[in-house]
Chains A and B, each alone.
Chain A
Amino acid sequence: MELSARERRMLDGAEGEAVRRALAYQVEVGRFFGARRLVPVTNAHMMGDIEVLGDAGLGFLREMQALGARARIPITTNARCVDFAWADRLGQDPGECAKERQVIATLQAMDILTTDTCINYQTLYQPHLGERVAWGDTGTCIYANSVFGARTNFESGPAALAAAITGRTPEYGFHLEAHRRGSFLVDLSGATLGDLADWGAVGRIVGESHQSYYAVPVFIGLRRPPLADELKHLGCALASYGSMGMFHMVGVTPEAPSVEAAFGGAVPEGAERMAVDDAAIEAVYRGYDLGEGDARLVVFSGPQLSLFEIKHLSALFAGRRVARGTSVFVTSSNGVLSAARKLGYLAPLEEAGVAVLEGVCFYILQNLSPMREREGWRNMVSNSAKIVNIIGAHRFRTILRRTADCVEIACTGALR
């Protein structure tokens, strides 16, 4: 790897041991991918909560902080595993909650903004075309690359932290033009796409059949301009089912003014074409095993909800009650929930018996497996295709349903 004079000094420890370690780690990652150099980044976004860190991760953060680690560019945090206002009610472990507070304090001591949201791209920072960032949570990456035309790889917690400490990241993957070109066409002209869950279903169909970080679908045939929340659910599902980091949507995303441009000049001969239509999306909904029809858990989370999603949900739950024995969870960020409270959208949810959690995502909640066993939850119903995929290790049977259907299931206790 070609390092600048300053980077060589950093590697020699001239800017402290924390910087030396962070840069050495980045060089090792870059070497794996054949990166030629490091490139400057303007913003980072990291995952760091005790559920995924474990004691080893907390120890790592404390050591870096003690070594003088400090963010030199703005860095924000992803959703975490504890909403302290709910921890007791959810039966979360007090010891782990105390460690979560240590995680937060340690991050703040390194000048990290503990914003606790996985929708930073909707609520915190919108990079411009070509801007290089280092973002983690795959949903944030695919949105940055695709919708903003910014450049990032999936940067996991330690990688995003290293980028914030050095102000750089190795140049590989989606930092390079070659990887940003489309690789296959997806025709959506036969799809109505009337609900967020339909967009997630498209992401599942396309992602599951093309699992590769470097597969870049090019969507064509949209019947109308998509909304940000729709692109969010599509991107999160593509990243989750396909491990994908980028998509193009012709006439919508900035690097796809035309089909040809999306493929980097010309559509390659023999490029794969697939279509996703209403029938394919209906088949996704029909394909879930409902087990014994348990309808005691309905979740709106993963990704956190935007203000517009909360407003919609608030209207659907207004004047209704969650069925006896059923639990409903909504999660979002402090910013969204503060605005929703002020605008009167939370009261109908809370009056209906919905649990509104702040700064967390349902699937990473500390103690989720014991919580599932204690509550006897077998199924989890959600309008998010991502969370339906991602929560598997906790042994839930998961079912994707449209938003209004989820509300109906929640209020009737009947799963169809």
Chain B
Amino acid sequence: MSAPLHVIRLDRAFGPVVEGEALVSEEGFSPRYDLDRWSGLITKPGHRLEGMSIKDRICFFPTAKGGIAAGWAFNDIRAKGIAPRAFCFGVTNPVMVQGAILAGIPITEGWSEDPRAVLRTGDWVRVDPARREVELLRRAP
């Protein structure tokens, strides 16, 4: 296995190791405010990721917005097959963590450098919660 192109250290993390395509957001996230929980698309008018899907992505959000809904909503979108593979937050709130743990979706908080400076949407990354690391494996084609 070749060495990662870049490694971001994380402060806190839960869940198993996952790999997937990065979705890197300039804007925070709430499943209630921003997400169509039937399609997995970001639908809030004017959201920086409006029209994009979170399904099977590794989502990087600088902040969490709102909202108590994530507690149930993550479990709901996982059952509907439209969940991301992991949530990586700069700053999150307890609801996101409670929701991700209930749903068994990896979630992390805090990073050694801002992913927006290092990663681009479409890059292939691995999240390793036990080692508290995000590894950049391949650049987007």
Contacts and interface: CB of A to CB of B under 8 A. Distances in A.
A376 interface: no
A402 to B, nearest CB: 23
A156 B66 contact: no
Contacts of B78: 56
14 contacts: A52-B69, A54-B75, A54-B79, A55-B79, A136-B95, A158-B99, A173-B94, A211-B63, A211-B65, A212-B63, A213-B94, A241-B65, A243-B66, A392-B45
B12 A33 contact: yes
Contacts of B13: 32
B22 interface: no
B49 interface: no
B101 interface: yes
A57 B75 CA distance: 7
Interface centre among A31, A34, A54, A137 (most CB of B within 10 A): A54
A159 interface: yes
B97 interface: yes
Interface residues of B, number: 42
B69 A392 contact: no
Contacts of A391: 33
Contacts of A34: 12
A156 B75 contact: no
B75 A213 contact: no
B67 A56 contact: no
A158 B44 contact: no
A195 interface: no
Nearest to B129: A32
A138 B64 contact: no
Given A136-B71, A153-B94, A159-B71, A54 B66 contact: no
B102 A158 contact: yes
A155 interface: yes
Contacts of B133: none
A72 interface: no
Contacts of A47: 68-69, 71-72
Interface string A391-404: 11111010000000
A13 to B, nearest CB: 20
Interface string A371-395: 0000000000000000001111111
B14 interface: yes
Contacts of A397: 45
A159 B75 contact: no
A125 interface: no
Given A28-B14, A47-B68, A213-B64, A52 B99 contact: no
A200 interface: no
In terms of DSSP, what is the predominant structure of the interface of chain A? helix
Interface of B: 12-14, 28, 32-37, 43-45, 47, 63-73, 75-76, 78-80, 91-95, 97-99, 101-102, 107, 109
B75 A56 contact: yes
Interface centre among B33, B43, B92 (most CB of A within 10 A): B33
Contacts of A57: 72, 75-76
Contact of A29 (B33, B98, B109): B98
B28 to A, nearest CB: 6
A308 interface: no
A317 interface: no
B101 A28 contact: yes
Contacts of A213: 64, 91-94
A263 interface: no
A121 B12 CA distance: 32
Nearest to B63: A211
A395 B45 contact: yes
Given A32-B97, A53-B76, A392 B68 contact: no
Interface centre among A31, A137, A157, A397 (most CB of B within 10 A): A157
Contacts of B66: 138, 239-240, 243, 389-390
A83 B67 CA distance: 22
A86 interface: no
B94 A54 contact: no
Contacts of B99: 156, 158
Given A156-B70, A156-B95, A243-B93, 11 more contacts: A32-B101, A53-B72, A56-B75, A156-B69, A156-B98, A157-B72, A213-B92, A213-B93, A241-B65, A243-B63, A369-B36
